[in-house]
Amino acid sequence: MIYYAIALLVIAFDQLTKWIIVHNMDLGQRITVIDNLFYITSHRNRGAAWGILQDQMWLFYIITIIVIGAVIYYLEKHAKGKPLFQLSLALILGGAIGNFIDRLFRKEVVDFLDTYIFTYDFPIFNIADSALTIGVALIFIQMLKEGREEKVKPNGQN
């Protein structure tokens, strides 16, 4: 149950930060946090990452419902006893639902975290996007961990 609570915290924090942006900043307004590195920029996205698939809401609804169902299934059937896997799925669940709420009620996703990495202007993102990215990275770490454990022989030798 703790992992569903984590997902709920991600959703709550995501929606709270988006509400703050929508109600306190004009679209396109930018606040410098760390010059040439990090800004808060009020932005909207009607597509996916990097603005791809603009205005394809029906596709995002279908994909998100499938992802949510799959994540819950894996949490219940395959992640028990694997805390890292459970955490990764909780983050993915919270992130997916956070952006789904935006798409459902706003018909666009509120983005505001604006970073420059070595002069590259990274696409503006939000808390839900961050949770999704971290969740996917943790799944890769879990897979590497399980791969190493499978290589260890029963007597503990490599």
Is 102 assigned a catalytic role? no
For residue 133, CA distances in Å to 118, 125, 139 come to: 20, 11, 10
110 φ/ψ angles, rounded to the nearest 5 degrees: -85, 120
Q: What is the pTM of this model?
A: 0.89
Selected catalytic residue, list 14, 102, 111, 114:
111
Q: What is the pLDDT along the chain (158 residues), one digit of tens a residue?
A: 899 999 999 999 999 999 999 999 999 999 999 999 999 999 999 877 766 677 678 888 999 999 999 999 999 998 989 999 999 999 999 999 999 999 999 999 999 999 998 889 899 999 999 999 999 999 999 999 888 887 775 655 55
Is 111 assigned a catalytic role? yes
44 φ/ψ angles, rounded to the nearest 5 degrees: -125, 145
Question: Is 93 strand, coil or helix?
Answer: helix
**Contact (CB, 8 A) for 113 and 125:** yes
Selected catalytic residue, list 14, 102, 114, 129:
129
